[in-house]
Structure 1
Amino acid sequence: MKALNLYGIEDLRYEETTPPEIDNSNDVIIKVVATGICGSDNSRYKKLGPYRAGTPFGHEFSGTVHSVGDDVKHLSIGDAVTGCPAIVCHKCEQCEKGAYSRCENLYVIGSYEPGCFAEYVKLPAHNVLKLPNNVDFDTAAMVEPSAVVAHGFYRTTMKPGATVAVIGCGSIGLLALQWAKIFGAAKTIAIDIDPNKLEIAKTLGVDYIINSKEENLNDVIKTLPFNIDVAVESAGSPFTIGQVLTLPSKGGEVLLLGIPYSDIEINREHFEKILRNELNVIGSWNGLSAPFPGEEWHASLHYMSTGKIKVHAMISDYLDLAQGPAIFDAIVNNKKHFNKVIFHP
């Protein structure tokens, strides 16, 4: 099969690769139809390099069941599916509690096992979910990031009628604005420095947009006729991780979804917001709960099927997998503007 294999920093090759085989009775091999680039894939390509040189990476995908092990009963050849890419041990203390996102041995495909930037990918059967009939493959390729966002919102205590602000309107942020409405937000605020992303947020029904490059964010927040109950950081920027602490009203919540890839320093003013405003600062990792892979996955598929989670406005490019090396180079070296990129192997 053909795959995108990562050999080193900015060393990505589209080449012939050994396809996966059924080794265990609960294995499922999936023919990949759509697979998306995650922000963490860009960081792996640009800054971190592979876990294992020459391994296909990628972990957001959908496809059809190609073959199954003898013990797999809930899936049939040809079923349209998506897959949870997180592999957990099911043995450690956290797994025994059902806190799978905190598994001591968690990893995702594309690291120690081959990922989905390939024609075929393999997962354990309990990681594979059937698609509702009205959820297309491109939408289903974004169930994983949706589940990650949902996991964060399940960790908050937000109530219907809340105001939610999201800083950083990439894919995670745009999904967060939609999940905020699902959780009952009366008002949503999108904050970013990219007017293109803010325009997408508008099309997805956000109530207010703030371009924090053109306006002073603190000044704008002070003029709002309402308080912010929950502030979501989804950029992973050292700057916005401090800035988000200034957004909620006293007693509010801060949900941290963005992953920083450099050290973070929080200045005194921002840190004191946690203390003086008695903020509840919530870290969130992955998108798993019990029963595995969790309510986040089933809820994502449900709301995609009802149209409350829309992803097509977020996707800028649908490309052949063979273009992968050139596209990753263009993304991380700012040669062209992209929103979400979906490959079709």
Structure 2
Amino acid sequence: MDSLKLYGVRDIRFEKAEEPIMHSDNDVIVKIKAAGICGSDVSRYRLLGPYIIGMIWGHEFSGEVVAIGKAVTNVSINDRVVGCPVVFDGEDYYYKKGEFNRSDFNNAIGAKRPGAFAEYICLPSQNLVKIPNTLSFDAASLVEPSSVVIHGLYRTSLTVGKSVAIVGAGGTLGLIAIQWAKIFGVGKIIAIDIDDAKLELSKKVGADVVINSLNEDTEKLIAKNTDGLKADLVIEAAGSPITASQVFAYAKKGGEILFLGIPYGDVHVKRYYFEKILRSELTVFGSWSNVSAPFPGKEWSDSVKFFAEHKINTEHIVTHRLPLSKGPEIFKKLMERKELIGKVILHPDEK
């Protein structure tokens, strides 16, 4: 079958791979219809390389069930599904508590086992969530990043009428977070980014205020738009070592900070920003992965529900739809940054 394999930093190859086979009566084989490129994929391509050289890459996908093991009861052949990428190679204290996202045995497809940039994938049946016919495969492939966002939001005390500032608002996580904030009934959504084109996308999906942090005093503008108090909740979705330190200045006293982005570099926090944690008595949430009990969790069922009801619009997020064979080419373009590239969806069944 066709696949994309990661061999090293900036070394991804379109190659043939063996089709997956079932090793357990609980396994399911899915024909992949759409697979998204995640921001973490871009960072690993640019900086870190693979966990295992030559591994089939990718972890965001939707598809159609083509084979099931004898013990499988939750899905049937021809079902349309999305796949939770989290698999376990053991059990520990957190796994047994049902805190699956905290388990040391929590691994993602595309890391230490074959991923979603391929024509087929094999996963345990519990990793698959059915989707309705009204939800397109392209849109459904964004359920995975949505589950990442909502897993974090469920950790906070976000309620109707509160204010939210989202840093990195023009990326996939940010654009989805804006829409989830609208669903939560947030009073004011402030989008922060360094790209005007991405800020325009933020407006289209529901941001009330947009701030280009390269050209404007972000802290002052947030205060101006929140009666001088600043935001009830600040979401760091950029994954930048720079913004990861600045966000502490954007929250009101007694406010909350939620970290969703992964800064692939050391974070150096100036005294001015660090003291905001203490002097403003902030609550800081780290958020990892996208699963809860009962596995894979309400992050997945809630995302499918609101996607199917078109409460979350993916058309402003997806900018490129390409055959899987164009994978190496689009990753190079992502490094060049010469054009606006949002979410990229790869189609393994297109030649």
Fold-level similarity (TM above 0.5): yes
2:302 to 299, 310, 318: 299
Contact 1:90 1:96 in 2 (8 A): no
Asked whether the 8 Å contact 2:163–2:226 carries over to 1, the reply is no
Question: Displacement, 1:344?
Answer: 0.6
What residue is the counterpart of 1:340 in the other structure?
343
- The one-letter amino acid paired with 1:142 is L
2:240 to 225, 237, 240: 237
Alpha-carbon distance between aligned partners in 1 of 2:5 and 2:287, rounded to the nearest angstrom = 29
Say which is worse superposed, 302-311 or 107-116, in terms of deviation.
302-311
Determine the C-alpha separation between the residues in 2 that align with 1:191 and 1:336: 19
Corresponding position: 1:311 with 2:314:
yes
Name the residue aligned to 2:267.
264
2:222 corresponds in structure 1 to: 221
Q: Which runs of 5+ in 1 are unaligned?
A: none
Superposition deviation, residue 239 in structure 1: 1.1
Corresponding residue SS for 1:259: coil
Task: Identify the residue that residue 250 of structure 2 maps to in structure 1.
Answer: 247
* Counterparts in 2 of 1:225 and 1:235: CA distance versus 1, 3 Å: closer
Greater Cα offset, 127-136 or 222-231:
222-231
Shift of 1:46: 1.5
Per-residue CA shift, 1:200-241, capped at 9, x if unaligned? Answer: 111112111111122111221232243310000000111111
SS class of match (2:252): coil
Gaps of 5+ in 2: none
The two structures have a TM-score, normalised by structure 2, of: 0.96
Aligned-partner residue type, residue 324 of structure 2: L
Q: Which runs of 4+ in 1 moved over 4 A?
A: none
- Number of matched pairs: 345
CA distance in 1, matches of 2:92, 2:183: 33
CA RMSD of aligned residues (A): 1.1
The alpha carbon displacement at 1:59 in A equals 0.1
CA contact (8 A) 1:316 1:339 kept: yes
Report the AA paired with residue 308 of structure 2: S
C-alpha distance in 1, partners of 2:338/2:44?
Answer: 18
* Structure 2 counterpart of 1:157, one-letter code: S
Identity of aligned residues (%): 48
Aligned ranges 1:1-345 → 2 under 5 Å: 1-89=1-89, 91-169=91-169, 170-226=171-227, 227=229, 228-345=231-348
Q: TM-score under structure 1 normalisation?
A: 0.98
User: C-alpha displacement at 1:304, in angstroms?
Assistant: 0.5
Check conservation: 1:233, 1:240, Cα contact below 8 A.
Answer: yes
Query: 1:7-45 CA deviation, whole Å, 9 max, x = no partner?
Result: 111111101110101111011111000000001111121
Partners of 2:190 and 2:226 in 1: CA distance: 13
Cα distance in structure 2, aligned partners of 1:243 and 1:68:
49
